[in-house]
A and B are shown apart, each in its own frame.
Chain A
């Protein structure tokens, strides 16, 4: 069972994500959108979207830093006070995200206009996200100091998967709720190409911050895009 969930499924879902995303980007780029519904409803969205995005983006950032350089997290955690700060702020951000997500779910299911725009993919996505955030918070409360043991369990497991040498040992003995968190995260990744989640990949921050304000396209000049005005 562990082997199926943590040795085979990761590849199935990762491949779905990669192949599906590339396929969608090349064949149906028009569908690539964040599908914002602020235009239809903007009061409840404020209480949902802000906490959700800021909470989840920062928490995700923490996970990624832990995955890439687990030693830096361990070094930070070497003093108990710093460990407390990291854990407490992680938990707070998780709760913030949960609050936002619940507000978003409530809005999506009660506002008639937004409901009319809701697809079954959106509902599925909401369920997956709710499970993900709930199990994450459960982990943080029930099995404390996750930022420490994460480096010794999930991180090496992820690296073993990424280096095509999956070693289920690392995660086999984790509590059920943690396993659910990990597997659900993979489901989430697999869902990317089918939902509005694709919008995560399109913010080209570099391009936006440093491009000139104005964009001009010519069809008879060599470069497709030529910029005219460089405002300060």
Chain B
């Protein structure tokens, strides 16, 4: 069997613990995107689900045509139906490109007016000012996290593309105060194995790094053709309207290269994020991306290799993967969550980019909707302490649309396993659950006692070093960077700015 082993950095998010505080977004923004042209960019953003998202309804690929599709057994970019000549034909105007109005017009406020306004009968106000034109804005129509916490809103939540296929009674729950549900989905670039942004770039400016799988845009090669923005189904490359270059999440590679976790993961107050290394077989990316919808998640688990298998270790060493990376892969939270315990899931695998960040689906509020049905009284004796999966407030179908291409089986598997951990610890700590019920939960999910302890540990008590298992990159011995260039961008964030002598702009 031909194997092409590669290493990939992967982030996992435990949605059960995300409180939607946006600390991740802020730390990311403070480091990377506080520049002209980048104000509107949130390389890391947190969305309320159900919700319209950022940019608005980005998951609706009928509109944006991002991602891949399989036609005649071939994998093709949905944007151009696999025909590159069509790409070139639409290079002058792209029908599927989102514009700034789908994100939001960046603004600030005229704070000086609060100090300088002449004395009058009314309180002075700070009017909003556009950061693009510098002019006052009539009204702010859209902003960062615009539909934050609007889980029950008919304006935003009901426009969520993931509500397709839900029954009317499930949809009704969206607006019923005692029944409504929402949760948060933090998003960064997925650093896909089959990235559509890379494939669509006419300049070849976007590339995946062989050593750690991080997808980057070469700022000197990007020519503002904007195909990455259209082709990425997650809308994670952003067009910098000031520099005329596209930018995207760089997985904080200056930090990960030195063994530190990404800024977003590091700053997460809920400790929902873990970062780890996974080993995968690059030979099988294409066949995985072509799998039918119901096999996508299993297929993705298949190409991820067991880091303890001696054959894999040997092949990895042969492929030039460093020993400390193999060791990191053996302690990888990403591997454990996704492949070993099978409780995390990819985000929209049906886009067929083989995304490499994984999400643990959220359990609903512990008291199930039966409580709401009976006007608030709840009797654990008759209904069981924990939710039956099919009575959960968050419909499984919704989670499946979000994380498994509609495959409810893998979602239920994950929820049941998480529930088993709860049952086990309820028995251990409170003791009001019988031994047989614990045994039943474990048998049903196939988890061992060790697994349950480990899942509990990782999701609740894990220390910094257990959550972030990142190895330093050994660039010292094999860099191809011209040493004279190495310090050129020191002290900057590395994204250039226009030089004055050629383009007479003010920055």
Contacts and interface: CB of A to CB of B under 8 A. Distances in A.
Contact of B223 (A37, A199, A213, A220): A199
B431 interface: no
Interface stretch (B83-91, B175-183, B408-416, B443-451): B83-91
A224 interface: yes
A116 interface: yes
Most chain A beta carbons < 10 A, residue from B74, B198, B503: B503
Contacts of A228: 4, 282, 285
Interface stretch (A127-135, A170-178, A202-210): A202-210
A208 B198 CA distance: 11
A34 B224 contact: yes
Contacts of B203: 202, 204, 208
Given A36-B226, A119-B505, A217-B207, A45 B282 contact: no
B239 A50 contact: no
Nearest to A38: B97
B100 A207 contact: no
A37 to B, nearest CB: 7
Nearest to A228: B282
A136 B221 CA distance: 34
Nearest to A208: B202
7 contacts: A34-B225, A34-B244, A39-B229, A54-B92, A214-B198, A215-B201, A225-B204
B244 A224 contact: no
A145 interface: no
- Looking at chain B's contact residues, the main secondary structure is loop
Interface stretch (B208-216, B300-308, B377-385, B399-407): B208-216
A224 B480 contact: yes
A169 interface: no
Interface residues of A, number: 59
B207 A216 contact: yes
Contacts of A37: 241
Contacts of A36: 224-226, 239, 244
Contacts of B498: 30-31
A41 B99 contact: yes
A225 B218 CA distance: 12
Contacts of A207: 204
B223 A215 contact: no
Interface string B52-91: 0000000000000000000000111100000011011001
B93 A49 contact: yes
A112 to B, nearest CB: 5
Contact of A214 (B93, B208, B478): B208
Contacts of B208: 214-217
Contacts of A68: none
Contact of A39 (B84, B91, B209, B239): B239
